[in-house]
Structure 1
Amino acid sequence: MEEKILQVTDLKKCYKNTNAVDGISFSLNKGEIVALTGPNGAGKTTTIKCILGLLRKNSGAIVINGADNKSKDVKYKLAYIPETPDIYPMLTVWEHLKFMALVYKISNWSDNGEKILTKFDLLDKKDELGKNLSKGMKQKLSICCALIHNPEIFFIDEPLIGLDPKAVRELKDAFRTLKEEGKTLLISTHMLDTAENLCDRIIVMKKGKVLAEGTIEELRNKMKVSKDTSLEDIFLGVTEDER
């Protein structure tokens, strides 16, 4: 039986006269990867920031493991990895982990830190300064930093933009590793082929609304298209019908 770890209900976020997020509802199950996709301005990043508490919602409910998202304990269960990783240029890879351990008041973290860096093939970069890392390595370091406090849900914004094919492969493998460990990932992305091949479910947004949600097979059935129809074709069909 699926274990619901996040429930968003009738979420609204307005900027003056614009509904950036217009009464959307969806849920995430434990141990799944979900793509949040849609055109620019669809409300994807605003949705994620409302869930994280970085933006104040106008109305609606956000419940994480049975508790309101404003709860202090809940915030420790979440991790946010923005499109541009927050890496300090003059800190080493190891010093980034140490800094995060201090932020979360975690003692005896060194052994776990080495295991995390080994898992993501960064142990040999332990003493490398942040400014010398490639974008792919910075993305992986962001994940490693997030793992120090053992969050349950990762919110990741456009993680693959600007990466070379090798870095894309490595980062997707990293996401699969997190899933195998029972972590839940909500990935905001425009890269539909990645969403189709990596994610268990897809949520399509446009103009602040959820237009479609489900597995690729469920979306094909809803659109009444063939089993060979790509997510790109489904996406264009869904978003073009809603003007």
Structure 2
Amino acid sequence: MWCSGLRKRYGKRTAVDGVSFSVGRGEVVGLLGPNGAGKTSVIKMLLGLVRPDDGEVLLLGRPGRDPRARERVGYLPELFRYQPWLTAAEVLTLHVRLSGARVPAAEQADVLARVGLAARSGDRVGGFSKGMQQRLGLAVALVARPELVVLDEPTSALDPLGRVDVRDVVLDLRERGVAVLLNSHLIGEVERVCDRVVILDRGRVAASGTLAELLGQRELRLRLDGLTPAAEARMAAVGAVTRTGREVTVALPAGEEDAVVPALVADLVGLGVRVHAVEPVRISLEERLLGILREEHA
């Protein structure tokens, strides 16, 4: 999925102003920003639900305005309602027919099982809780074997167990080479599953990039006793060292944290240093998001 220069005005208000980004196959991209930032408007333009005033959209190699482009797209909107007199299985069958795909009943049942509704497939939707309806909406987004899945607040009505289930589904989609665009206010969930993040503010892209690019370099915080010149040289070989009393902070090389940290700690112990605490640290996505938005509004 690719979009460039998307713009949309509603009367005198500019909702989206020059938004550009892409989502590759097997990639999960998170869309973040405060309420009113333009996230849902962008999603609706991507899916042809709202016509942009300017800009281009490509869905799976076809222009966004081409109905055939949307045949392989799964969508979970933030707000939706299904016919309360239908069962969960009937809702899925209806949406399979609307999509034009051929999905056997057994495969539809498997999709309901993936979202935790296997035991409720024959129950009428009118009796479902908000969380169960959210699970059904996710099943509808997945049932026609999409190659691009757009999820708008997929965990809004779910308990912690439901959020874990959605996370597992998203990671499974990525493993199967499906492109996923995820809009969520739950920043921790975005941080766990997304490869890249696009931050919108007042209709514009305030920042974008991989988590490593947005969050910056990771550091290792150590509390040590018995430091020797040899131990200090060993830490300096890893990265810049800052020392405050017994606490030492070492900058870690990007992408090598998992290999560097155990080796460094083992070497320090071998050099006679007493290691009381080891804490890898990095600014959280929430802190980075707030910092970006404060800079934008300053």
Q: TM-score, normalised by structure 2?
A: 0.74
Q: Which runs of 4+ in 1 moved over 3 A?
A: 105-108
Pairing 1:20–2:25 present: no
1:3 matched residue in structure 2: none
Report whether the alignment pairs 1:230 with 2:284. Answer: yes
Q: Which amino acid aligns with 2:286?
A: E
1:87 and 1:134 map into 2 onto residues whose CA distance is 13
Q: Which has the higher contact order (CA 8 A, sep 6+)?
A: 1
Shift of 1:135: 2.5
Q: Structure 2 residue aligned with 1:88, among 83, 91, 94?
A: 83
Deviation track 1:146-195 (CA, whole Å, cap 9, x = no partner) reads 33322211111112223211221122222222222222211111211111
Shift, 1:8, TM fit: 0.7
- For the pair 1:97 / 2:151, whether they are aligned, the reply is no
The residue number in structure 2 matching 1:242 is 296
**Cα 1:26/1:105, change in 2 over 3 Å:** closer
Contact 1:109 1:148 in 2 (8 A): no
CA drift at 1:109: 2.4
Number of the residue aligned with 1:153: 148
Q: Please name the residue that 2:25 is paired with.
A: 30
State the Cα deviation string for residues 174-227 of structure 1 (Å, max 9, x = none).
2222222222211111211111112111110000000111121101239xxx86
Which runs of 5 or more structure 2 residues have no equivalent in the other structure?
218-250, 252-280
SS in 1 for 2:29: strand
Output the aligned Cα RMSD.
1.8
CA contact (8 A) 2:59 2:70 kept: no
In the alignment, the residues of structure 2 paired with residue 240 and residue 18 of structure 1 have an alpha-carbon distance, to the nearest angstrom, of 22
Provide TM-score, normalisation by structure 1.
0.90
- Count of residues in Structure 1 that have an aligned counterpart in Structure 2: 235
| Contact 1:79–1:154 (Cα < 8 Å) also in 2 | yes
Percentage of pairs with the same residue: 34
User: Is 1:101–1:109's contact at 8 Å kept on the other side of the alignment?
Assistant: no
- What is the letter of the counterpart of residue 142 of structure 1? G
Q: 1:218 aligns with which of 194, 197, 213?
A: 213
Report the equivalent of 2:127. 132
- Segments of 5+ residues of structure 1 without an aligned counterpart are 1-5
